[in-house]
Amino acid sequence: MALFPIQGIYQDDFVVLLVPIDTEDPMTVVAEKIAHHAAGVRVPPASGELRIKYQGELLDPEATVVDAGVPPLGVLQAVAE
Amino acid sequence: MPALRRSDWYDLARDLNWNLSYVTEDEAFPEVMSNNYGITPNEKWWGWDEPYKVSYREYVHNQHGKDASVYSVNSVIARSRMFEELDPGWKSAIVAHYGAIAVPEYLAGLGESRMGRFGRAAAWRNMALFGTLDETRHGQIQTYFPYTLLDKEPRMDWAHKALHTNEWGAIAARHLFDDMFTANDAVSTAIQLTFTFETGFTNLQFLGMAADAMEVGDLDFGALISSIQTDESRHAQQGEPTVKILVENGYADVAQRLVDHMFWRSWHVFALLTGLSMDYYTPLEHRSHSFKEFMQEWIVKQFLDQFRDFGLEPSWYWESHFLPELDWYHHALHLGVWFWRPTVWWNPDAGVSPAEREWLEEKYPGWNDTFGVYWDTIGDNLRRGEETKTLPETFPMVCNMCQIPVVTPAGFRAGKLESPEPQIHIHEGRQYVFCSEPCKWVFQLNPARFAGHTSVVDRFLGGEIQPPTIPGALEWMGLSPEEMGQDATNYAWAFEGFEAPGAAAS
Ligand SMILES: [Fe+2]
Ligand SMILES: [Fe+2]
């Protein structure tokens, strides 16, 4: 359990956000944490399941940042499937 | 009547160059103060010739007249109700302007005085002396005018305060101006401050702003800005002769690089300040052109002429990055400044009422599909009474060059960038984040100059901001609750064309 900063981009949003997550969060939770700052705030919530894209690849929804080898301030996109 | 005409003695009096014998050239003009870029001996600089000639006696006479007239306008207007009657968006533009510009004018005085001592020709040092006095005057006048408005708008004290805080926009302004003149050598300053920034951007901007101020009825600001502009158009002319000497001596590439570096940086801060003012804060009925039109018809045209006249090329990023940003960059910054409004010292004017949106769509076809959607969602939240959803709970990432939030996803959405992701660059084990390729390029030109700086986000993550929360950061930025920006029209724009909440029920 440790606080871990990432750069989050919610699909169709306009800005790159500093999003604090936890090292044990699975990507489903990471996606929610990014969405929290944008979905229904500046963009309509995306329909469909939210996935995390890192360096062009969709990550396993159960993986953590540690599993996926995402460094602090790695750029994660939350995209709807 | 003077016995001699100016032209009879001017060249002799101003061209007091001499060969040094007690010290070496390097001792008198150290590289850190005055980079000769290999143009040596110093006689090669003596042909430096300013286009605008003025004697000290004439200078003092002119400046005295300018000050007398502009301060008398101010003293008359201070007793009127003019300020109270100005449009709230325009007031915001003025409060933002003073905070970002007044103290940097003093700092520009340092840059000018460095040229006044380390400029490599006597004519240049003479000209820069006037520039030093000009910038001192601009600093004074732009802290005094807001001071006279303090009883009407307490945040006018940000004219003096802003640059002494860690407010993010102030950090962006400081980073730019330190690079451009406070911590720059004389030769580079002439090209980056006077040729690129003043000739290229602010001289034209001040002309436009003076006209806009008169349009909206702000005679005080209009008089101030035209008075400043007349100085600017003179001292900005130190750039041309400096570029000419570099080009004539075979160093066009040096001049090109200095211009390309500072044009990009100036553009980003210009988009932030002027882009928002022109397209969102200035009342619709007084807008004579869009920001994009202003950029195309004035700035772009003039730069292309300057490039041609001096044998330079449009910057490498001109077609690929700069021109495309004219369509989207400042719209994204405006949205960001409005959403993070507690982090600025002025009241951002959303400027997206139905009529304003129509204007935006006309000036920027596609605006509604790209940017209107964000404002729709924000407006829905306001109409539902959910103001908290329109306020930030975290920070945007900030560019490690321009220090402005990274809005690449907006460029992607507007179809102007291939990816929404920022530029990432590792230098000596540290990760840097950039908003654009040119910002990364500027860093790579001289990493030693920029590498040590930390952005607001770096400082936040490094534990310098305590408590590490939004309120903690606002306090760290010097913003008390009374000073934090609020929507300029108290959300009137969101309800225009909609039934007032509760009206149907009563
Ligand atoms: Fe100035
Ligand atoms: Fe940048």
Residue-level pLDDT, tens digit, chain A, 81 residues = 899 999 999 999 999 999 999 999 999 999 999 999 999 999 999 889 999 999 999 999 999 999 999 999 999 999 998
Interchain CB distance below 8 Å, A18 and B394: yes
Nearest CB neighbour to A15, from listed B390, B405, B461? B405
Put simply, the answer to whether B420 touches A37 (Cβ < 8 Å) is no
* Whether the predicted pLDDT of B203 surpasses 90: no
- Residue from A15, A75, A77 whose CB has the most chain B CBs within 10 Å, to mutate: A15
How far apart CA B349 and CA B97 sit, in angstroms, is 14
Q: Which residues of B touch A5 (CB under 8 A)?
A: 461
In this complex, do B406 and A16 lie within 8 Å of one another by their Cβ atoms?
Answer: yes
Confidence (pLDDT) at B357: 98
The answer to whether A43 contacts chain B (CB < 8 Å) is yes
Residue at B158: amino acid letter: W
pLDDT at B499: 66
Distance (Å, whole) CA B310 – CA B315: 13
Q: What is the pTM of this model?
A: 0.96
Phi first, then psi: give them for residue A8, nearest 5 degrees: -110, 140
Which residue matches tokens 């993010």?
A: B168
Q: Is A41 close to B390, i.e. CB distance below 8 A?
A: yes
Cβ–Cβ gap B390/A43 under 8 Å: no
pLDDT given for residue B455 in this prediction? 97
Q: What is the pLDDT of residue B500?
A: 59
How close B420 gets to chain A, by Cα (Å)?
Answer: 8
Whether the Cβ atoms of residue B34 and residue B185 lie closer than 8 Å to each other: yes
Partners of A44 on chain B (C-beta within 8 Å) are: 373, 377
Tell me the CA distances in angstroms from B66 to B37, B69, B295, one per residue in order.
Answer: 38, 5, 29
For residue B297, the CA-to-ligand 2 centroid distance in Å is 24
The ligand that comes nearest to the alpha carbon of residue B177 is: 1
For B102, residues 6+ apart whose C-beta sits below 8 A from its C-beta are B139, B142, B143, B146, B159, B160, B163
Is some CB atom of chain B closer than 8 A to the CB atom of A37? Answer: yes
Least Cα separation, residue B435 to chain A (angstroms): 10
Mean pLDDT of B389-414: 98
Strand partners, A8: A17, A76
Q: Is the peptide bond before B314 cis (omega within 30 degrees of 0)?
A: no
Average pLDDT over residues B174-190: 98
Best residue of B377, B387, B389 to probe chain A, by most A CBs closer than 10 Å: B377
Summarize pLDDT for B349-399 with one digit per residue, the tens: 999 999 999 999 999 999 999 999 999 999 999 999 999 999 999 999 999
Indicate whether B340 pLDDT > 90. Answer: yes
Q: How far is CA B50 from the centre of its chain?
A: 25
- pLDDT at residue B181 above 70? yes
Please name every residue paired with A57 in a beta bridge, in sequence order, or none if there are none: A54
Residue whose structure tokens are 């000050």? B67
**Burial call B178-214: b when 16+ CB within 10 Å, e when fewer:** ebbbbebbbbbbbbbbbbbbbbbbbbbbbbbbbebbb
CB-closest option in A19, A42, A73 to B431: A73
Residue B105 has pLDDT above 90, yes or no: yes
Q: Determine, for residues A42 and B395 on separate chains, whether the beta-carbon distance falls below 8 Å.
A: no
According to DSSP, residue B499 is labeled: P
Q: How far is the CA of B108 from the centre of ligand 1 (A)?
A: 7
Instruction: Over range B306-311, report the average pLDDT.
Output: 90
Q: How far does the CA of residue A76 sit from the closest CA of chain B (Å)? A: 9
- B456, with CB counted inside 10 A (0-12, 13-18, 19+), is buried
Count CB-CB contacts under 10 A for residue B427: 14
Q: Please tell me the distance between residue A35's alpha carbon and the centre of ligand 2 in angstroms.
A: 25
Q: Which two tokens stand for residue B293?
A: 């039109």
Residue type, B132: T
User: Tokens 């944490």 correspond to what residue?
Assistant: A33
**CATH homologous superfamily, domain B52-505:** Ribonucleotide Reductase, subunit A (1.10.620.20)
Structure tokens at A26: 């699975």
The Cβ of residue B319 has, within 10 Å, a number of other Cβ atoms equal to 10
Of the candidates B381, B393, B396, the beta carbon closest to that of A16 is on B396
Q: Which positions in chain A touch B386 (Cβ < 8 Å)?
A: none
CA-to-CA separations, B506 to A29, A42, B383, B498, B502, in angstroms, rounded: 44, 31, 17, 16, 7
CA distance B416 to chain A (A): 13
Handedness of CA B75, B79, B81, B83 (dihedral sign): positive
A42 touches B378 (CB < 8 A): yes
The Cα-based distances of B169 to B96, B115, B413 in angstroms read 10, 27, 25
**Is B457 close to A18, i.e. CB distance below 8 A?**
yes
Does the beta-carbon distance from A15 to B422 stay under 8 Å?
no
Q: Summarize pLDDT for B47-104 with one digit per residue, the tens.
A: 999 888 888 999 999 999 999 999 999 999 888 899 999 999 999 999 999 999 999 9
Q: Name the average pLDDT for chain B.
A: 94
In the predicted model, is pLDDT for residue B309 greater than 60? yes
Q: Are B237 and B124 in contact (CB under 8 A)?
A: no
Domains assigned to chain A: 3-80 (3.10.20.270)
Virtual torsion, Cα B211, B213, B219, B220, nearest 10 deg: -120
How many Cα atoms sit within 13 Å of B114 on the Cβ side?
24
Q: B369 contacts in A (CB within 8 Å)?
A: none
ipTM above 0.85, yes or no: yes
CB contact under 8 A, A18 and B395: yes
Contacts of residue B468, Cβ cutoff 8 Å, sequence gap at least 6: B460
Least Cα separation, residue A67 to chain B (angstroms): 21
Residue B209: pLDDT band (50, 70, 90) is confident
Residue contact B433–A44, C-beta within 8 A: no
- Taking a C-beta distance cutoff of 8 angstroms, is the pair B163, B122 a contact? no
Q: How many CB pairs under 8 A join A and B?
A: 85
C-alpha of residue B162 to centroid of ligand 1, in Å: 17
User: What ranges do the domains of chain B cover?
Assistant: 52-505
Q: Is A74 on the interface with B (CB under 8 A)?
A: no
The set of residues, in sequence order, having a beta carbon less than 8 Å from that of B195 and lying 6+ positions away, is B236, B238, B239, B240, B242, B243, B259, B306
The percent of residues above 90 in pLDDT, for chain B, comes to 87
- Residue B66 CA to ligand 1 centre (angstroms): 14
Tokens of B450: 């920029």
Pairing type for strands A3-10 and B423-427 reads unpaired
Å from B471 to nearest chain A CA? 16
3-state SS assignment for residue B123: helix
More confident residue, B499 or B485: B485
The minimal CB distance from A12 to the residues B339, B405, B413 is found for B413
The one-letter code for the residue type at B424 is: I
The token pair that represents A2 in the structure block: 């440790």
Which member of A20, A40, A43 has the closest CB to residue B373?
Answer: A43
pLDDT of residue B505: 40
- Distance, in angstroms, between B237 CA and closest chain A CA? 39
- Read off the pLDDT of residues B229-257 as tens digits, 9 standing for 90 and up: 999 989 999 999 999 999 999 999 999 99
Which structure tokens are listed for B406? Answer: 């990274």
